[in-house]
Structures are given as C-alpha cells and as structure tokens.
Amino acid sequence: MQPYRERLAKLEALLEEENLDAILVTRSPNVFYFTGYRGAGFLVLARNNGFALLVPPLEYLNALDSVKENDVDDKVEVVGYQPYGLPEDLVLAPKQKVLQKSLVDSIIEIIGEEKRVGSDLTNLTLYNELVKKLKLIDIDKKIAHMRMIKDPWEIERMETAVAIAEEALQAAIDSLDYGVSEQEIAAIIEYSFRVMGADDHSFPPIVAFGENTVYPHASPSKRRRLEPGMPVLIDLGAIYKGYCSDMTRTLVLDEGPEGFRDTAEAVLEAVEEAIDLAAPGVKTGELDAKAREVLRKHGLAYYFNHSLGHGVGIEVHEEPRVSYGSDTVLEPGIVITIEPGVYIPGKYGVRIEEMILVTKKGAKRLTRFPTRLWL
C-alpha cells in the first residue's frame, strides 16, 4: 500500500509542531507526494476543516478518482473553485462541491483570515495576494526533507525509470552513425520512452556531438551531424509512475579527439571514488570535494564547472544538493546522482552520471549501463 495516509499524518503532526492554523501545499510535486494526485491543484489542511484538495473544474473528476484510488477519499475532500461561475445545470460529479470564487478567495474561505499558515509557496504573485490576509510561514524545506528519504516502493519506481532510460540509451547508441543529427538521436530516445511505458521524460534529452559537448545543457541541433572523431554525450531520464531517472554517458565511435580517452578515464575515476565515499553520515559536500580532488590530480578540476550531483525522486532535481560546501548528511533512503564533468572550451566535454541509493552499508548503484564506452 502506498503510504499516503501516513504522509497526510506527517502534515497533521507538522501543523502541531509548528503551532499552525493551517498548511497550504501549492507545488505540484508536493501535492503528488502527499496524495498521489497529479494535476493542477492545491492541498489545504485547516485545523478545523481537515484536508481539502482544491482544484479547477476541469480537474475535478481526475482528483476524485485519484484520492479514491490512493485510499484517502475519506480524509481528503475534493473542492472545485471557479472564479467565472458555472452554468446552473452543469454537474461535475454527484454531491459536487464547487466554490464560485477566485483561487485566493477559495483558500481564504477554507482557512479563514489572519491565520498562521505553513506553506511551500514559490509563486510570488499568489504570495503577495495571500500575505495580505494570512501570516505565511515557509515550510518548504521541511517538506523537502520528508521527500528526501525514499520509501521502498518509490525506489522500485525509480529503478523502472532507470531501466527504461537504459533501454532508450541503447536504442540511441545503436542508431549512431556518421551523418545522423543530434535531433534525430533525441527523437529516438523520446520515442523509446513512450514505447517502453514511461509517463514522460524527466527533462528533454541532451544529445551533443563534437564541440557541442562542452555545454553541460547543450540543445540537440537538426543541423549538427556526427562526423569521424566527434565524441558523443547523451544525458537522459524517464519518468515512471511519477518518479524520475537521470543518467549520462559519453562515448566515441572511433579514436576520438586527442586527449579524450585520458580525460574520460579521469572523469570515470572521479565517479568511482565519489561513489565509494557515499555512506550514511557523510556530508554531500564531501562527495563533491572528492571528485574535484581526483580531477585536480589530473589537472582537470578547472574544467569542472557545476555541482557533482543532486537528489532525484518526484522531481529530477530535488534535495539534497551534492555541491561544494553543502552540509546535508547522507541517510539511508536518499537517492542522488554523481555526475562529474570536464568541459574544455573549443575541444570537447566528458560527463558520466550515475544514480545511487544510499543504504546502511554504503551506496547501491541504480544505473547499470556500461560506463567505459571509448575502448
């Protein structure tokens, strides 16, 4: 059983711990985390009114079905809001509850005015409207910490998302040939995701050839085509039942540019040593430092221009940060990426990215695709 009832209980406990009158969850990934509902809407917990899932009319039936499917329909009331009114004879569902009010006024009706409300609000416009009537307290980091420790069923979904991504990566590699464009390879990845049952991609696939590999977030081009000597960098991730994967591989079909193989070996060494260090009690910043130490030994640290990694789950980038100086302590159940990169302007870039699960004994790799693809 997916523990949405337990997660709602965590919100109720947070309400008491922080001495709040209400909690307003606005970010879609957080609403999904607590209810299993994927769609537009907010989750409201009011001390005297319980839980309400506040949604626009077009999501009303979806929300009703979702709370029932996830066994929280007796705890979460679905409430529609419609600022422009609805025809009197329009029925969304039996015993429907729809407020003929704006979003802000609907929130105030459920919560009341002048209340202490914990929220994960990031929308500045909505914040500016609500802060006129409510005392808002930021609880985004507390929710992020709840999400950081993954349940076994969440990890299973991510493992499936990894398997889908690895199948798509293999299809992309099998399609590599001189003359193919970056965009064509990206399209093969997207197609493979859908055929193999992914909900969507975690992010648009990054496919880069040659000098385009020096851009960590390169955009696939229709005009850039693979030529002899060009390295290939592919960064991809799938979403399966709401959970993400993320992985990167760099390869060549031939000798590659001068110095490429030595650079790739150094990046792989940085990956391996950072993973070996990952264990409960270790700070995420220590992993970043270890990878930079390895690349510094090879004279390449200057070209590593981003963080070592990040948490993965409902979002492809979530807590914890795995970056220079970050002090989050690893705990069993945390899933992170390890992705050092070296980007030499005018030449090439190399990045290798693995997803790992922190366990009581250390780190377990969730990605299993071969890493050394330049032999």
User: 126 and 171 in one domain?
Assistant: no
Range of the domain at 88: 4-145
Residues 172 and 113 in one domain: no
At which of 92, 118, 145 does a domain end?
Answer: 145
In a domain, 374, yes or no: no
In this structure, are 162 and 111 located in the same domain? no
CA angle 85/88/91 to nearest 5° reads 95
**pTM metric for this prediction:** 0.94
Q: Is the peptide bond before 320 cis (omega within 30 degrees of 0)?
A: yes
One digit per residue, the tens of pLDDT, for the chain of length 375 reads 568 999 999 999 999 999 999 999 999 999 999 999 999 999 999 998 899 999 998 899 999 999 999 999 999 999 999 887 666 666 677 777 888 889 999 999 999 999 999 999 999 999 999 999 999 999 999 999 999 999 999 999 999 999 999 999 999 999 999 999 999 999 999 999 999 999 999 999 999 999 999 999 999 999 999 999 999 999 999 999 999 999 999 999 998 999 999 999 999 999 999 999 999 999 999 999 999 999 999 999 999 999 999 999 999 999 999 999 999 999 999 999 999 999 999 999 999 999 999 999 999 999 999 999 987
79, 66, 74, 143: which is closest to 110 by C-alpha? 79
Residue 320 lies in a domain: yes
CATH number at residue 53: 3.40.350.10
3-state secondary structure of 356: strand
If asked whether residues 167 and 286 sit together in one domain, one would say yes
Which tokens sit at 316? 């492809």
pLDDT for 348 equals: 97
Domain match, 136 and 13 both? yes
Give the 3-state DSSP-derived string for 260-273, with helices as H, strands as E and coil as C: HHHHHHHHHHHHHH
174 and 95 fall within a common domain:
no
Q: To 5 degrees, how large is the angle CA 255–CA 268–CA 338?
A: 135
Domain-located, residue 375: no
Residue 58 located in a structural domain = yes
Q: Which of 145, 171, 195 is the last residue of a domain?
A: 145
Specify the number of domains making up the chain: 2
CB 98 within 8 A of CB 86: yes
